[in-house]
């Protein structure tokens, strides 16, 4: 089996990794990013040959299709004899139809397009690069992996809003996100502590985008994110859970347009809005400014409240896992959250907590703690690579057409944001 390219596309950038396999586990070979797409495109990558960079002249900015061709050609020269066999894409929204990774063909692409209104800030960018790769390399299989798929196991009692059934029929329901992260962390927990993974776990994915998930015996039971990636915890620039009456008030009384409200809730709220200075937890923890300290207090408070809610949703708590940027590298946040969860049986080993820096799996609970507490670094790209490899192997074994987009018209730039 050859190498797998993993893409995580944003509005003006795309992060990429290339994975091979060693001892049955994904091994990252190359990591990089193309930023400033359409404006000041710049390429950076780190791999076996060290770090490489390239910038394009402002007068000759490449399209996504041209960048896709450049990236694959660049990789093929550096993969040391390995063949690039497939591209795995992180796609935020799979709706109710896409409940597992899927080979992208024209029908799948049409289905993903229909979901753009449910994830307008994320979905179009993934689709733009899927089209770009279909045009640049039509023989290369493309696999879509979904952030929503892990939460397909939640019950209707958890998934539905108290709205008319006709709206649920249109897809207005709770989906949950960060599923690729939760799936990876659950797998790592099962590897390092099968007993903990076989119980009732709450995973706290705390980063610029933040959410939490109740996972019972490896299955998603409930998540803090709902219809969009805006719900739940306070995030870097996103507000998290909000009384819907506030949105009505902003439109009806403050005269804000829907577009202005969208920008406020996604880009001007959260830690940045509360502190007025930064969306970076490191800055806030190092500040003595009252608003910065208040932002941290509110963040911790929301995490604690959601942890209690998720424990109730699954009927108990056997393990608590911290992951993502803040969860992996902010021992003060872990300590403050854990102290307030003492009523559930959480007790940290202070030295172990201080030592855990997100570079490896680490148990940070004390010997007396009734709840096992872990820091487990997440790797969504490795999860995508694993899914892509497995599905490609299955399709190859069945002699399926793994280049399903080969003969479909591509419009790489039509949907670029």
Give, for 203, the enclosing helix (H) or strand (E): strand 200-205
**Residue whose token pair is 């911790």:** 300
Over 70: is that where the pLDDT of 391 sits?
Answer: yes
Assign residue 171 a region (left: φ > 0; alpha: ψ between -120 and 50; beta: otherwise).
left
Local confidence band at 411 (pLDDT 50, 70, 90 cut-offs)? very low
Looking at domain 3-171+380-397, its CATH superfamily turns out to be ATPase, nucleotide binding domain (3.30.420.40)
What is the predicted pLDDT for the residue at 410?
A: 32
Instruction: Kindly report, residue by residue over 119-149, the tens digit of the pLDDT.
Output: 887 899 999 999 999 998 998 999 999 999 9
**Residue whose token pair is 């009732």:** 200
Give, for 134, the enclosing helix (H) or strand (E): helix 123-136
Sheet holding 84-91, edge to edge: 50-55, 42-47, 25-35, 14-22, 3-9, 84-91, 141-146, 102-103
Report, as an integer, the average pLDDT of 138-166.
96
Instruction: Please check whether residue 12 is in contact with residue 93, taking contact to mean a CB–CB distance below 8 angstroms.
Output: no
Instruction: Please check whether residue 123 is in contact with residue 93, taking contact to mean a CB–CB distance below 8 angstroms.
Output: yes
What is the predicted pLDDT for the residue at 117?
A: 84
Taking the whole predicted model, whether its pTM rises above 0.85 is answered as: yes
Close Cβ partners of 364 (under 8 Å, ≥ 6 residues apart): 334, 348, 349, 352, 353, 356, 373, 374, 375
Instruction: Please check whether residue 177 is in contact with residue 164, taking contact to mean a CB–CB distance below 8 angstroms.
Output: no
Instruction: Kindly report, residue by residue over 229-285, the tens digit of the pLDDT.
Output: 899 999 999 999 999 999 999 999 999 999 999 999 999 999 999 999 999 999 999
Report, as an integer, the average pLDDT of 286-307.
98
What is the predicted pLDDT for the residue at 267?
A: 93
| CA gap 176, 229 in Å, rounded | 8
What is the predicted pLDDT for the residue at 12?
A: 82
Top-confidence range, 53-67, 108-122, 166-180: 166-180
Backbone angles phi, psi at 73, to 5 degrees: -65, -40
What is the predicted pLDDT for the residue at 408?
A: 37
- Domain boundaries of the chain, sorted by first residue: 3-171+380-397, 194-375
| CA gap 301, 307 in Å, rounded | 10
| CA gap 345, 155 in Å, rounded | 27
Local confidence band at 79 (pLDDT 50, 70, 90 cut-offs)? confident
**Residue whose token pair is 């791999």:** 47
Q: Which CATH architecture has domain 194-375?
A: 2-Layer Sandwich (3.30)
Local confidence band at 412 (pLDDT 50, 70, 90 cut-offs)? very low
Over 70: is that where the pLDDT of 64 sits?
Answer: yes
What is the predicted pLDDT for the residue at 417?
A: 27
Residue 174: is it exposed, middle or buried by C-beta count within 10 angstroms (0-12/13-18/19+)?
Answer: buried
Report, as an integer, the average pLDDT of 327-338.
98
Over 50: is that where the pLDDT of 346 sits?
Answer: yes
Give the lowest-confidence range in 301-315, 376-390, 394-408.
394-408
Across the chain, mean pLDDT equals: 92
- Please count the other Cβ atoms lying within 10 Å of the Cβ belonging to residue 312: 12
Over 60: is that where the pLDDT of 413 sits?
Answer: no
Tokens, residue 178:
């960060």
**Residue whose token pair is 């190092």:** 286
Between 118 and 313, name the one with better pLDDT: 313
b/e per residue 50-85 (b: at least 16 CB within 10 A): eeeeeebeeeeebbbbbbbbbbbebbeeebeebebb
Tokens, residue 327:
């969860």
- According to DSSP H, which parts of 279-379 are helical? 281-285, 290-314, 324-329, 331-340, 350-355
Question: Annotated active-site positions, please?
Answer: 147
If you write DSSP's letter for every residue of 49-108 in order, what string do you get?
TEEEEEE--GGGPPPHHHHHHHHHHHHHTTSTT--EEEEEEEES--TTT--S-EE--HHH
Instruction: Please check whether residue 145 is in contact with residue 388, taking contact to mean a CB–CB distance below 8 angstroms.
Output: yes
Which has the closest alpha carbon to 92: 137, 136, 126?
A: 126
What is the predicted pLDDT for the residue at 122?
A: 85
Report, as an integer, the average pLDDT of 161-188.
96
Over 70: is that where the pLDDT of 385 sits?
Answer: yes
**Numbers of helices and strands, H then E, in the chain:** 16, 14
What is the predicted pLDDT for the residue at 1?
A: 61
| CA gap 124, 416 in Å, rounded | 7
CA 244 to each of CA 169, 267, 269, 287: distance values in angstroms, whole numbers, following the listed order? 21, 18, 15, 32
| CA gap 227, 340 in Å, rounded | 29
What is the predicted pLDDT for the residue at 402?
A: 53
What is the predicted pLDDT for the residue at 404?
A: 52
| CA gap 245, 109 in Å, rounded | 36
- Please count the other Cβ atoms lying within 10 Å of the Cβ belonging to residue 161: 12
Give the lowest-confidence range in 18-27, 222-231, 381-390.
18-27
Give the lowest-confidence range in 23-32, 103-112, 194-203.
23-32
């Amino acid at each position: 089996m050859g190498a797998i390219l993993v893409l995580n596309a944003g509005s003006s950038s795309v992060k990429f990794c290339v994975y091979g396999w060693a001892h049955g586990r994904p091994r990252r070979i190359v990591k990089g990013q193309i930023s400033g797409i359409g404006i000041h495109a710049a390429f950076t990558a780190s791999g076996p040959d060290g770090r490489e960079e390239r910038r394009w002249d402002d007068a000759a900015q490449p399209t996504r299709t041209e960048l896709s061709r450049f990236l694959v050609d660049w990789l093929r020269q550096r993969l040391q004899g390995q063949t690039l066999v497939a591209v795995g894409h992180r796609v935020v929204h799979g709706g109710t139809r896409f409940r597992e990774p899927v080979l992208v063909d024209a029908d799948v692409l049409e289905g993903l397009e229909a979901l753009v209104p449910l994830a307008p800030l994320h979905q179009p960018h993934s689709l733009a690069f899927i089209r770009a790769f279909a045009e640049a390399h039509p023989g290369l299989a493309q696999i879509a992996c979904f952030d929503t798929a892990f939460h397909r196991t939640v019950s209707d009692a958890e998934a539905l809003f108290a709205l008319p059934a006709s709206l649920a029929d249109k897809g207005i329901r709770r989906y949950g996100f960060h599923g690729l992260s939760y799936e990876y962390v659950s797998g790592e927990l099962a590897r390092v502590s099968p007993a903990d993974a076989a119980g009732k776990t709450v995973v706290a994915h705390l980063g610029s985008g933040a959410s939490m998930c109740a996972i019972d015996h490896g299955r998603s039971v409930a998540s803090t994110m709902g219809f969009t990636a805006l719900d739940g915890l306070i995030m870097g620039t996103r507000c998290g859970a909000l009384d819907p009456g506030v949105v009505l008030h902003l439109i009806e009384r403050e005269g804000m347009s829907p577009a202005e409200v969208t920008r406020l809730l996604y880009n001007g709220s959260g830690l940045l809005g509360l502190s007025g200075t930064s969306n970076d937890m490191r800055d806030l923890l190092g500040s003595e400014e009252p608003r910065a300290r208040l932002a941290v207090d509110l963040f911790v408070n929301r995490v604690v409240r959601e942890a209690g809610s998720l424990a109730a949703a699954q009927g108990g708590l056997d393990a608590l896992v911290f992951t993502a940027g803040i969860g992996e590298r902010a021992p003060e946040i872990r300590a403050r959250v854990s102290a307030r969860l003492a009523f559930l049986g959480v007790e940290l080993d202070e030295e172990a907590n201080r030592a855990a820096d997100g570079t490896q799996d680490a148990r940070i609970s004390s010997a007396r703690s009734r709840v096992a507490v872990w820091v487990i670094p997440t790797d969504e790209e490795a999860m995508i690579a694993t899914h892509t490899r497995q599905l490609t192997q299955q399709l190859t074994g069945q002699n399926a057409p793994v280049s399903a987009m080969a003969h479909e018209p591509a419009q790489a730039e039509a949907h670029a944001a």
